Structure 1
Amino acid sequence: MNKIFILCTVIVVAAYAAPDSTSDLTDSVTTTAEAATTTSAPLNPTSTEKPALNTSDQDTVEDRTRLAANLFKDYDKNINPDGVKLQFGVVLVDFHVLEEKDAIESRVWLRYIWKDSRLQWNAEEYGGASVLRMDSDMIWKPDITLYNSLDSNMMVCWHSNVLIFPSGEVLWVPPCKLISCCHLTLKKHPYGEQVCRLKFGSWTFDGNVLDLDFYKGKKTMDLSDLSNTSGFEILSNKAEKTDKFYPCCKDPYPDLTFNLTIKRLPGEELFEKL
């Protein structure tokens, strides 16, 4: 009888203890899942009214085909939208100082977010479609270029898709190679501090038609994906917006200039000579 009583007691205790251990496991999984969804990535729109990249959408290829057909039926990519406010950012992936050219060569991801009201849709009418991935050549895009480029092509970028959302918001993140004039100071060569700039702006649109602002308001380059093999360390990373007026025109032309202050790591110049 005592053995039966003890056995029943153990079973009851285990039954009450189990929910706590299960709860701890669930909390752990939930915390891990939440952390995974907040991990930064090149494709990261700012709007809070939609998921960033939901791969479990209920829409089908038929829904997306019908959506694309309706969106682009009367769409003219040669005509710019009204009052574009572009968020622009630079993710620095790698850079090298070209001392013989007085320049800096950098690999970057450029982040563009803007809104085109002609590309809006009601997701419920298209199977819940919350994002449409399209060839970037199919839509109007801001003609942003690197003003202080040393390359005749200005910016060399890999051809990439754009992501379009029901609100008409467009996200474009092309990876690019840039070569920009640096104006190296050689007074304390090779260890003097150098300030290298990347100056971006529209080539044809004034600020009343295409205004510029920083991606997520961050007045710096994003260095979170930097793999620096240049032999230089980054001392300062700042950016500023300027509205410039030219003699030809009464309207301002905004530009965003990203400034990097760099300094050679001691001993690196010896390895370059070997």
Structure 2
Amino acid sequence: MIKIFILCAVFVAVAYGNELFSIQIPGISHYIPNPYIAAPGSSSDLADPVAITEEVATTTSAPLDPPTTKIPENKTSEQGTVEDRTKLVAKLFKDYDKKVNPDDVKLKFGVSLIDFHIDWQDPRLKWNADEYGGATVLRLESDMVWKPDITLYNSADPVNMINCWHSNILVFATGEVLWVPPCKMISRCHLTLNREPYGEQICGLKFGSWTFDGYILDLDFYGGNKTMDLSDLDNSSGFEILSNKAEKTDKFYPCCKEPYPDLTFNLTIKRIPGEELIKKW
């Protein structure tokens, strides 16, 4: 079987015959601006210099007041104080069991070149922000909460189907949980080599839960975006993206009455000839 491997955030490799073409994707930033991170403000007030009054026989001047700096309070509008957060975490996780999944999960899922966007509701993690200094969000280690077992069905590596860094997870007072982990994966695709190596190739990334059916965990697109986020792909990748679209499928098996949903992100790509690639630079 001829395969194409798409390695998100690292490289894209196309293999056929006995040759392997590796195309580096430079210029991809590993910093993800987070709209939920607020920096405490600070300001400084420097007293105005006192004017010097000159007289005929005597010159006097008032000493300058030393500069003063206002110390910011140990809180922000969205996370309260450290005492607020400590009490909140103790309250939320007193009887919380991450091994137990929430009911009727409506999962929102998105894919980019460097990360996933995974969003769901866990009613056990709700709180009244007014009772905790106005804290509306917590940043916690991802291993502290239940997470969906989304995987890449058509992975080319059956042992490490998806490799994700254990980044922090955001938990909001509404019970919303948002996880944006940087991930690496290798997908298997069928190639048509009628015009090798410059023919058009269609590659799909098929994601779904490994154990939950659609009645327990339903899938939909994050932000309603039915495409893969390719904003970090630059002109030096060596490939041109001809089509980028995604679709949801509810699959039924003969054994079972419940649906098993998946989201498949399809890319149609074409290798750019060397001389054209140089012109793009």
Q: CA deviation at 1:266?
A: 1.1
Pairwise mapping of residues 58-77 of structure 1 onto structure 2 (< 5 A)? Answer: 58=77, 59-77=80-98
For 1:171, the equivalent position in structure 2 comes to 178
- Once the two structures are superposed, residues 70-97 of structure 1 have per-residue CA deviations (whole angstroms, 9 ceiling, x without a partner) of 00000000111011000100112xxxxx
Between the aligned partners of 1:55 and 1:114, the Cα distance in structure 2 is 26
Q: CA deviation at 1:225?
A: 2.4
Pairwise mapping of residues 110-259 of structure 1 onto structure 2 (< 5 A)? Answer: 110-151=116-157, 152-227=159-234, 229-259=236-266
Indicate the percent of aligned positions where both proteins have the same amino acid: 73
- SS class of match (1:171): strand
Indicate if the aligned counterparts of 1:221 and 1:237 stay in contact, CA closer than 8 A: yes
- SS class of match (2:89): helix
- SS class of match (1:255): strand
Amino acid across the alignment from 2:96: Y
Pairwise mapping of residues 40-59 of structure 1 onto structure 2 (< 5 A)? Answer: 43=34, 52-56=36-40, 57-58=76-77, 59=80
Indicate if the aligned counterparts of 2:139 and 2:169 stay in contact, CA closer than 8 A: yes
For 2:273, the equivalent position in structure 1 comes to 266
Q: CA deviation at 1:229?
A: 4.2
Pairwise mapping of residues 20-39 of structure 1 onto structure 2 (< 5 A)? Answer: none
Between the aligned partners of 1:204 and 1:43, the Cα distance in structure 2 is 31
Amino acid across the alignment from 2:105: V
Between the aligned partners of 2:39 and 2:139, the Cα distance in structure 1 is 12
- SS class of match (1:204): coil
Amino acid across the alignment from 1:75: Y
What TM-score do the two structures reach when normalised by structure 1? 0.72
Q: CA deviation at 1:245?
A: 1.0
For 1:78, the equivalent position in structure 2 comes to 99
Indicate if the aligned counterparts of 1:86 and 1:212 stay in contact, CA closer than 8 A: yes
Q: CA deviation at 1:230?
A: 3.4
Q: 1:43 to 1:85 in 2, by over 3 A?
A: farther
Q: 1:237 to 1:89 in 2, by over 3 A?
A: same
Q: 1:132 to 1:268 in 2, by over 3 A?
A: farther
Deviates more, 1:57-66 or 1:234-243: 57-66
Question: Gaps (5+ residues) in structure 2?
Answer: 1-31, 41-75
Give the paired residue count: 209
Q: 1:115 to 1:55 in 2, by over 3 A?
A: farther
Indicate if the aligned counterparts of 1:145 and 1:203 stay in contact, CA closer than 8 A: yes
- SS class of match (1:150): coil
- Once the two structures are superposed, residues 104-159 of structure 1 have per-residue CA deviations (whole angstroms, 9 ceiling, x without a partner) of xxxx3100010000000000111110110001101001100000001121001111
Query: Normalized per residue, which structure has more helix?
Result: 1
Between the aligned partners of 1:209 and 1:53, the Cα distance in structure 2 is 32
- Once the two structures are superposed, residues 165-202 of structure 1 have per-residue CA deviations (whole angstroms, 9 ceiling, x without a partner) of 00000000011111000111111111100001100000
Amino acid across the alignment from 2:136: S
Between the aligned partners of 1:136 and 1:194, the Cα distance in structure 2 is 36
What TM-score do the two structures reach when normalised by structure 2? 0.70
Between the aligned partners of 1:85 and 1:199, the Cα distance in structure 2 is 18
Between the aligned partners of 2:217 and 2:38, the Cα distance in structure 1 is 30
Between the aligned partners of 2:207 and 2:175, the Cα distance in structure 1 is 24
For 1:90, the equivalent position in structure 2 comes to 111
Q: 1:189 to 1:117 in 2, by over 3 A?
A: same
For 1:9, the equivalent position in structure 2 comes to none
Q: 1:270 to 1:225 in 2, by over 3 A?
A: closer
